[in-house]
Structure formats: structure tokens, C-alpha cells
Structure 1
Amino acid sequence: MESKNLSSCEDFSVAGSFFSPIEKKPSPPSVIVIGGGISGIAAARALTNASFKVILLESRDRIGGRVHTDYSFMCPVDMGASWLHGVCNENSLAPFIRLLGLKLYRTSGDNSILYDHDLESFALFGMDGQQVPQELVIKVGEAFEKILKETMKVRDEHLDDMSVLQAISIVLDKHPELRQEGLAYEVLQWYICRMEAWFAADVDAISLKNWDQEHVLTGGHALMVQGYNPLIEALAGDLNIRLNHRVTKIVQRCNLVIVTVEGGTNFVADAAIITVPLGVLKANLIEFEPKLPDWKLSAISDIGVGIENKVALRFSAVFWPNVEVLGVVAPISHACGYFLNLHKATGNPVLVYMAAGSFAVELEKLSDGEAVNFVMLQLKNILPHATRPAQYLVSRWGSDINSLGSYSCDLVGKPADLYERFRAPVDNLYFAGEAASIDHSGSVHGAYSSGISAAEDCQRRLQMQYGISDLLKIVFRGEMSEIIVPLQISRM
């Protein structure tokens, strides 16, 4: 469809446009949501439930964004987000999980030094294929916890920010009794590898000032046994969603927003909520007219984007130990390996190899077959009787044009108010997504909550603009939270 040249405030009757503003202003107000991840779906759902006129534009041929459950193994495998971080009533997704009867598999309690796994859930192996004694795994884990606590003192003693790796080096110089030797040193490197997986970034890039400032909910962490897709589909419901609509330009003019997609079609509304991944904004794949203000551009530039990738392997039969994690320790963190055992949680014969930071970037340079061969070499080194996988899946979040990264992270030396500036609106443009969550960045519930918050901010502006009061009712935040159904959790 061809669009007309938008030359004035009186010429917005555009072929293919969402609304035709030359007519009398529509009531209720109109909003375009850009991005069909859980944040965009949350915003669109809230506004649609309030009888706004809403359209959601998604560049992919599916919804969910970086929350993606694959079913090609004939069982659900989350190739993006996997965990519910915070198994508690305070988690904004808990009401939906209860209502839908989705099962959770708890992988840690509140005090896990590795955040999403408890110490006893590991079986670690050396490069020689020999299993590391569990007593040593626990001993080094406790030492690592002490090291991290000492880095807090280093932070207090230094005005300038530094990397967590540099702080660890300072701690070990001050406390040589915490140094590890031989196999214990390799186990320590594995713990650092797991820390890098949490932030999807290398430890020499993680900010000492901010690494532990995230508000982690209580209740530990759990895998979504049936994957995240049932939740995404339920939230999306009957929303007006346009797939394969890649936004290329956003124009603000005369209290309206004009959104252009590939092919030239324009959509016009009173406001827009932008929920595309931070990596997409960093790459300037969307043109803004007028340009975004400097305070917004600097926030987009300074927030880091980490990369974590998965190689999922389905086997004909289970040949590995009945533990949640199979790990390979090594002299450097980048050489360490980590397999998540989905059979333990779901009963399906699937292992998922996980790589983060620069290691994940290197993995994306390999073909799918080469990546699988690399992973299988690690697996056969610790389990010589390992069989070839019947099927495999390889994620590439860093090079995927729709994401260009996995989730946000705090880099060394950056201002503390970045997330506040990133989520702040620019007139009738609102920003949401995991990177717009001040307290819960990098999480699914943080992305969801930020979508709801953006919808509320948008509501307030349009209420004033239209002279409407109490227009918006966030149905899924209020009414559903009253449903008292216990969460279905295994491995208590």
C-alpha cells in the first residue's frame, strides 16, 4: 500500500493508517504499541481492556520477542527467557501463572550464591573428565560468597567505579587465604562463569557499583515447566496484533504519532509505546523525527546489552546424572561449560548448553552444526558414553536483527540514573521493556511490569488531553490478583 506525503497537520488521511485524524477525534484515545514481547503485550492488553483503540506492531512472524518457547522437540523448550525470578506473591506474573495452572520447578532458594541454582544441584567435572568432589564444590562456593562480600568493602573504599573482576583481584591481594589453587581455582572460575551468565556479560565489564543493586524478589527461582508460551498466548488473547510489521520511522507531530513500517505503510495515533529491545534502539534501526533528546540518547547508549545463547540438545534416552546442572571447570571462566538438565525439571531428555558474554558472541560465529559439535566435545569429555543428539536448536540473540542482544546489564563507570532516563517518556512516546524496569531489569516480570507502567503513564497523559477521568482500569493487575490459587511448585 502506498502512503501519502505527510506535509502538514491537516493531511493525515494516510492509506493503510490506523486512524484518520482529519475526522473528529476518536473516543476513546488511540495508541500504537511497537514490539510484541511480553512488555508490549502487557501494555496493549491493559489499554485494550480499558477500551482504548490499540494496535500492536511486531517485526517477527510470532509474538513473544525474547520470550520464545520452541516445540520442535515435541516438548516445550524455552530458547530465550526460562526462569521466573522470584517465586512469590509479589511477582507480577504470579496471578497469571496461578490462573493458567502453569507448573513451576524451583531451582533455588533465596540464598543461592549462583542466583538461580542451589549448590547441591551441580555435578562439576574437570577438563580430564573426572568429577569434582561435592565437598570441594561447596567449599569453593562458600569462599566465592565471602569474596563477593569483600568486594562491597572495596566499593566503599573507592570513589570511582571498577569492574567486578578488578575488585576480586583487590580482595584476593588483601585476603590471600581466599585464594584458590589447582582444581579449586578452576571451580572458582566456574562460579565466575555462572556470574557472567546471570549478567550475560564478562566479569571484566560488570560494574562493581551496580552489580548487586537489583531488587531480587523472594522465593527463589523456578523454571517454567510448560515454557513461557502459554502465558504469552493468554495475555495476547484477542489483541489487534500485526505480525511482520517492522517499524522503520516514528514521527511526532501535532500531538500525534505517525509510525512507518517497512513497505511504507503509516499508522497514526495519539501516542505510542515503544517496547523494542534496547539493542534495536542502540543500532538506530528506527528513525525518530524529531530526533530523541540527548538525555534519552545517552541512556540508550550507556546501558549495556548482554548476550546469552543456548544450544538445546534432544537425545533418544537419558545418559547423564540426575542433577540439575552439569558443569565443566577450567583455568579461565570462558573455557568453563554449563548444561541445564531439563529432564530433571520436565521429564524430557533434553540438555541445554548455555554461553554468555564474549563467549556467546564467539559461539554465534559458528554454524549450527559447528556449535553442536563444540558442545558435544565438552559433553563427551565428561560423559564418554554420550550419544549424538536426535535434534538440536541454536539461539543467536546477539545477531538476530529483531533483538541484537539478550538483556540489559550495568557497565563500568556509567551513571546510576540510566534506567530512569530510559523509561522516561518523550512527550507522547513511552518506553517499556526489561531495560525500562528500574528494579527488575533483565527479567520477564520486569518487562511485564514496565509495560503496565508505560500504559498507566500513557493513560494519565491522554486523560488530561481528552478531559477524561478514571478511564483506565488495569484489569490484569487488579482483578486477577484477587484470585487465590496456589502456585504449582515441585522440588520444594
Structure 2
Amino acid sequence: MSEDVSAEVTGKEASGAGTRAEPEPRGREADPGRGHTIVVGAGMAGLAAADRLAEQGERVTVLEARSRTGGRIHSVHTWDGTTLDAGASWMRGQENNPLSRLVDEVGARTAVFNRSTETAYDPKGRRLLFDRHTRNMEDVNLLHEHMYWATVGASPEESMEDGIKHALYDVNLVRSRARDAAEIVHRIAEADHGADAEEVAFSAVASVHEFSGDDVVFPEGMSQLTDYLARGLDVRMEHVVLSVSHDDRGASVRVETPDGEETLTADRVLVTLPLGVLQAGQVDFTPELPADKRDAVRRLGNGRLEKLFLRFDDVFWGDAEVLVHLGTEEGAWFHWFAGQNVLGEPILVSRNGGNAARFLAGMDDGDVVAHAMASLRGMFKKAPDPIDHYLTHWMDDPFARGGFSFTAVGAGDEDRRALGAPVGDRVFFAGEATDIEHTATVHGALLSGRREAERILSLD
């Protein structure tokens, strides 16, 4: 394994959170003037809301279908103590990010991928010269800039594919430069949105507001953050919500538990179900949800993104922490992230979104690993077989049914606004799909949960 540790590591040296005593119970009784809120879902949005409500004296009951908290944040502890973030894993920009304060409060260790070591390979597996890859990325940045400004006045029916074609024409890229830049832009779109450029609204290019600073990951897992928010709360695991009802007297939630069905009542309910679960109609609402909210659920896109982790005996890819492979079959295995510096183990991670994820979904796990290794051996002919692997299946998870939301062609900010709007003062909605400026991000989920907590607290 390479001894050149180039990743910048910050935070506590040990396991981040350290050893803590059993937390004091929180949110078990309502303070005078406060009420009782049932929170559906123990992901980032639900726990951020529950944490804030409990701190302000609200009684809170959190219902979680799984046997763990975190939702689409899922840190898997495996491989002799290595932690793999199977779901969300990146904090996008440290500076002024609302997640940063939580990270500091938890004491979670973070690490920056050293992108200066990014290495690219052409479709035949030949390593691109540094100048060639630098030029490609300059072309990509130029395309993104033209796409950003072209979104002004774009119609809801225009796709990102339309925007890419216009930008290629505007900047007059030709031949190999146009081919490489277009491919990279497409692969970035698939990873960012979990969908193909033809599916994503062109307006989405300018809709996401990013924070400055480094993008960081969590060597001991992002679940530290949700574990911290859940401390002392009444979180009821393996409680699968079947229906949500409300009237002028209050709200009720019917759940399937290991001991059978039961109905819980409260003053109000906060729903933080993923968009894919809402689209699947797994939870009944009585009365029926308003028409604009139902339309928003239908119009917004549900992104598909899966990860493959491969563990090897040794590092065979050199010092690079990011590998780019152009011209792969169906766009699969375009990006590889190397974990030798961040995780301390010879691990490669690849994310596949949109078409690439659909292509791989038709294979069993063994075939997916074999396909990945065939692609890797296109760059490294003598690459050994992995000694282990971990493959995600978020689309098959009944409590996720996808990776994250995206703005589909025909949808817009008004749909996210409608999705996040409360139904009277009884049923509230949070989650990354309800946030306009920070969709498909952990900090977007965090902000949405806190938004609804403040809305609920303003009622009492």
C-alpha cells in the first residue's frame, strides 16, 4: 500500500464521537404550552426536526421502519473495522455549511480527497497526459458555465441534454475535445442527479446553491451525525407506517410493529418519507393529500444511484485518489475513488447513476463485480481479484426506493414547495425533496427538518 498520505484529516483522532455515557431521555414529555409530534422516519430530516423539537420542550415520538436510524445515511462497519458509507457520504463544501456546525458538535473526523492526484484513462485504458486531462476539465467547466447562463428563460420542458447540446455548439468544441467534454458532463449529471441528462430539467443546472470550501468525507462514517441527533429520543424501530390520518382534533398514525398493528395519536405528524416511497403509495393519507402535493410527487424525479466497494490485498493503482475512465460500457465505472489514504485500506469505490445504474441492475452481484473488474483491467491489466466487495441496492430497499430526488423535465421549484407545504396544522413534510436550494444533499435534509420544526413550534 502507498505510504504517501496526501489526504487532509481533521477532527478527533479516535472514533470521532468517543465514549459517551448513556444519554439522558429527551422529548418524552411536553413542557407546558407544547404538544406532541409524531415524526415519520429517522433519517437526517426526521432526526434534525425531532432534535430541535425535543430541545424546545415538545414531546416527540419517532417512527422508523428499519432496525437502525439514519435512513439513506448508512455507515456499514465491516472488514476489520473499516467503515463504508453505503448511502450519503460527502459534505458538499465546509464553509458556511449548516452541517459543519453539527460535525463540530459531534467531533466527527473528516477527510478531504486530494483531487490533485486525479488520473484519467482513455477508452483503450491508456493514461491521459496531465495536460490533456486538465484541458478536458477546462472544457467541462466552460460547458457548465454556458449551461448555467443559458438556463435563464429556459422552459420547464427543456432537458439537460438540450442544454449540453446548446453549450457544445456555443463553445465550438469539436472532435475529441467535444467527445471527452460531453462524456464527462453526462457522467457528472448522472452522479449528481441519479438520472440521465434527458430526464433532468435544464433549469436544475442553476437551481442548486453550493457552499465553498472542501468537499469532505467521514472515515468513521456519516452515521455519527444521525446517531448524535437521535440521542435520548423516543425512536421506535421496526415500526412501518401504514397510514396517516388527521382531523380537527389531532392526528393518528397506523403502524405495523413486530408485535402487530397499532395506532398512535398525537397533535400532529411530520412526514419525512423519501420521494420514492411516496411515489410507491406505500402510505395511505386520510383525507387524501391535496392535488398540488400529489402532482408534485408524480412530477419530481426519483434518482437512482448505487455504489460498489471493492477491497484488495494491496494498492495497484498508484497514488491517485480519483480515477476517471472514459468510454466505458453504458457509462458504468466512470469514476473510481481510492480509499487508501482516507480509509487506510486498499479499497476502490465507484458510484453509478441513471442509465449505468439501470444497466447494472439487471445483473446479480457476482456479475456486477465481474463487470467492474473487466473495466478496471482495461486500465490495469494485472489487477488482482478483490478479496471482498459490498454492493448497494437502494432501489430495492422498500424504505428508500431510490437514492435522492431530482428535478425532472416538466417539474420545478413550485413542486418542491408544494411537497413541503403543511396540510393545515396537522400534517407536515420534510426531506431533501422538499428543499429548493439544497436538493439531494444531507444538509438539505437537515435544513428541511429544522424548517418544519420551527413551523411546528410557532403553532404552540
Instruction: Give the TM-score normalised by the residue count of structure 1.
Output: 0.82
Structure 2 Cα separation of the partners of residues 232 and 85 of structure 1: 17
Deviations 1:324-345 (A, max 9, x none): 2112101786256211112132
Summarize the alignment of residues 167-178 of structure 1 with structure 2, pairs less than 5 Å apart: 167-176=163-172, 178=173
Q: 47, 55, 79: which is aligned to 2:86?
A: 79
State how many pairs are aligned. Answer: 426
Q: Which residue of 1 aligns with 2:193?
A: 199
Structure 1 Cα separation of the partners of residues 361 and 400 of structure 2: 14
Summarize the alignment of residues 49-88 of structure 1 with structure 2, pairs less than 5 Å apart: 49-73=55-79, 74-88=81-95
SS class of match (2:101): helix
Opposite residue 315 of structure 1, the aligned amino acid is F
User: Given that residues 364 and 399 in structure 1 are in contact (C-alpha distance below 8 angstroms), is that contact kept between their aligned partners in structure 2?
Assistant: no
Structure 2 Cα separation of the partners of residues 324 and 375 of structure 1: 18
1:180 equivalent to 2:160? Answer no
Q: Which residue of 1 aligns with 2:304?
A: 307
Structure 2 Cα separation of the partners of residues 446 and 165 of structure 1: 25
Structure 1 Cα separation of the partners of residues 334 and 198 of structure 2: 18
Structure 2 Cα separation of the partners of residues 378 and 235 of structure 1: 40
Q: Which residue of 2 aligns with 1:137?
A: 133
Q: Which residue of 1 aligns with 2:158?
A: 162
Q: Which residue of 2 aligns with 1:488?
A: none
- Report which stretch shifted further, 124-133 or 389-398: 124-133
Q: 270, 277, 281: which is aligned to 2:267?
A: 270
Summarize the alignment of residues 38-53 of structure 1 with structure 2, pairs less than 5 Å apart: 38-53=44-59
SS class of match (1:353): strand
Q: Which residue of 2 aligns with 1:404?
A: 401
Opposite residue 460 of structure 1, the aligned amino acid is S
Deviations 1:309-355 (A, max 9, x none): 00111112222121121121017862562111121323222111110
User: Given that residues 246 and 287 in structure 2 are in contact (C-alpha distance below 8 angstroms), is that contact kept between their aligned partners in structure 1?
Assistant: yes
Change over 3 Å in CA distance of 1:31–1:372 after alignment to 2: same
1:228 equivalent to 2:225? Answer no
Structure 2 Cα separation of the partners of residues 291 and 26 of structure 1: 32
SS class of match (1:84): coil
User: Given that residues 333 and 350 in structure 2 are in contact (C-alpha distance below 8 angstroms), is that contact kept between their aligned partners in structure 1?
Assistant: no
Deviations 1:239-281 (A, max 9, x none): 1111111101111123311100124210100001101111100
Give 1:154 shift.
Answer: 4.0
Opposite residue 456 of structure 2, the aligned amino acid is C
Change over 3 Å in CA distance of 1:441–1:122 after alignment to 2: same
1:36 equivalent to 2:42? Answer yes
Q: Which residue of 2 aligns with 1:394?
A: 391
State the structure with more CA Rg. 1
Structure 2 Cα separation of the partners of residues 270 and 222 of structure 1: 39
Give 1:159 shift.
Answer: 4.7
User: Given that residues 325 and 335 in structure 2 are in contact (C-alpha distance below 8 angstroms), is that contact kept between their aligned partners in structure 1?
Assistant: yes
Opposite residue 438 of structure 1, the aligned amino acid is I
Structure 2 Cα separation of the partners of residues 430 and 312 of structure 1: 37
Structure 1 Cα separation of the partners of residues 331 and 57 of structure 2: 51
1:341 equivalent to 2:338? Answer yes
Structure 2 Cα separation of the partners of residues 381 and 251 of structure 1: 55
Opposite residue 32 of structure 1, the aligned amino acid is I
Structure 1 Cα separation of the partners of residues 273 and 38 of structure 2: 13
Structure 1 Cα separation of the partners of residues 45 and 86 of structure 2: 18
Q: Which residue of 2 aligns with 1:240?
A: 234
Give 1:287 shift.
Answer: 0.3
Structure 2 Cα separation of the partners of residues 134 and 310 of structure 1: 27
SS class of match (1:211): helix
Structure 1 Cα separation of the partners of residues 151 and 228 of structure 2: 44
RMSD over equivalenced CA pairs, Å: 2.2
Give 1:169 shift.
Answer: 1.6
Structure 2 Cα separation of the partners of residues 123 and 284 of structure 1: 44
Identity %, equivalent residues: 28
Structure 1 Cα separation of the partners of residues 155 and 381 of structure 2: 50
1:100 equivalent to 2:106? Answer yes
Q: Which residue of 1 aligns with 2:421?
A: 424
Give 1:83 shift.
Answer: 0.4
Structure 1 Cα separation of the partners of residues 391 and 328 of structure 2: 26
User: Given that residues 66 and 406 in structure 1 are in contact (C-alpha distance below 8 angstroms), is that contact kept between their aligned partners in structure 2?
Assistant: yes
Q: Which runs of 5+ in 1 are unaligned?
A: 1-18, 20-24, 109-117, 464-492
Give 1:444 shift.
Answer: 0.7
Structure 2 Cα separation of the partners of residues 445 and 251 of structure 1: 29
